[in-house]
């Protein structure tokens, strides 16, 4: 029970990775605030967790400051504080997973940066004051091995490199009471696989040293470690959950 008595907010909680994190955290004793834009999927995740006295499901758009503020306030009202923030929201805002840079529109570039970078910023801006008030906090942001650069993903690579840099800045600003770290996954078995050609999925699988795709539970295990007191002397770090692919700039 590594999170016994802790309160965790998870953004993007209704997606496969967010759900895996929520389940693992609840198993480890945490009360959880689930934040996502999908009411239906939020309710499904909350039902799987059980223990309605230890779960709050708040629907909101992570891109809207007012929604993020309302979500944080809902968690504080229910549990009295927030100890842990896991930022899962992110992705590529385009029907195409790969777009050559010269074909990319301003709107696509800006929307993907906002979905990955602005959401991380907004969540921290509203959660951190509550952590500082109680003198304790753990923040885990979701990056990607694509931060090292990926052909056809200029906007996503730039966004995730920004998340890594923002993580480091947050770690510096919020120390010593709050640790801030980043997980950098390779391709994880989520709904994004439905948008990829099978040959491309196989390409990413064989790129890993371990010759498999990542599972949402792999991300959840890393998030659990970084959110626990076992990682109390780790901050400003990027932890690859990537089967051996290294996310170096």
pLDDT at 188: 94
- Mean pLDDT value of segment 84-91: 97
Task: Cite the DSSP H helix spans in 88-188.
Answer: 106-113, 119-134, 154-174
The answer to whether 156 is a known catalytic residue is yes
pLDDT at 197: 84
- Mean pLDDT value of segment 107-116: 97
- Examine the pLDDT at 95 and tell me if it is beyond 90: no
- Examine the pLDDT at 55 and tell me if it is beyond 90: yes
Q: What ranges do the domains of the chain cover?
A: 7-239
pLDDT at 15: 95
Please state which CATH number belongs to domain 7-239. 3.40.50.720
d(CA 98, CA 82): 37
Question: Which one of 25, 121, 156, 174 is the catalytic residue?
Answer: 156
Query: What would the pLDDT profile of 63-84 be if each residue is shown by its tens digit?
Result: 999 999 999 999 999 999 999 9
For helices 16-27 and 216-227, what crossing angle results, to 10°? 50
d(CA 139, CA 84): 6
Query: What would the pLDDT profile of 208-245 be if each residue is shown by its tens digit?
Result: 999 999 999 999 999 999 999 999 999 999 999 999 99
Query: What would the pLDDT profile of 142-176 be if each residue is shown by its tens digit?
Result: 999 999 999 999 999 999 999 999 999 999 999 99
User: What percent of the chain lies above the pLDDT cut of 70?
Assistant: 100
Query: What would the pLDDT profile of 172-194 be if each residue is shown by its tens digit?
Result: 999 999 999 999 999 999 988 88
pLDDT at 168: 98
What are the distances in angstroms from CA 78 to CA 19, 31, 53, 69, 126? 20, 10, 9, 14, 16
Structure tokens at 23: 């389940």
Q: pLDDT band for position 140 (50/70/90)?
A: very high
- Examine the pLDDT at 50 and tell me if it is beyond 90: no
């Amino acid at each position: 029970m590594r999170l016994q008595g802790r309160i965790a907010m998870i953004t993007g909680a209704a997606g496969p990775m967010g759900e895996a994190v929520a389940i693992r955290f609840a198993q480890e004793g945490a009360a959880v605030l689930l934040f996502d834009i999908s009411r239906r999927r939020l309710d499904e995740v909350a039902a799987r967790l059980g223990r309605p006295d230890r779960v709050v499901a708040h629907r909101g758009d992570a891109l809207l400051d007012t929604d993020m503020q309302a979500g944080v306030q809902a968690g504080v009202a229910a549990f009295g504080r927030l100890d842990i923030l896991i930022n899962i929201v992110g992705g590529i805002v385009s029907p195409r997973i790969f777009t050559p840079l010269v074909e990319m529109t301003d709107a696509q570039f800006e929307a993907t940066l906002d979905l990955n970078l602005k959401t991380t910023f907004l969540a921290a801006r509203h959660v951190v004051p509550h952590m500082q008030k109680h003198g304790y906090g753990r923040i885990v942001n979701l990056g990607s091995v694509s931060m090292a650069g990926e052909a056809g993903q200029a906007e996503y690579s730039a966004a995730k490199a920004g998340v890594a840099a923002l993580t480091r800045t947050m770690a510096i600003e919020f120390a010593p009471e709050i640790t801030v770290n980043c997980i950098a996954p390779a391709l994880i078995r989520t709904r994004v696989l439905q948008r990829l050609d099978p040959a491309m999925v196989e390409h990413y699988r064989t790129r890993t040293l371990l010759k498999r795709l990542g599972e949402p539970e792999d991300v959840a295990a890393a998030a659990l470690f970084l959110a626990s007191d076992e990682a109390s002397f780790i901050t400003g770090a990027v932890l690859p959950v990537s089967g051996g692919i290294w996310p170096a700039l």
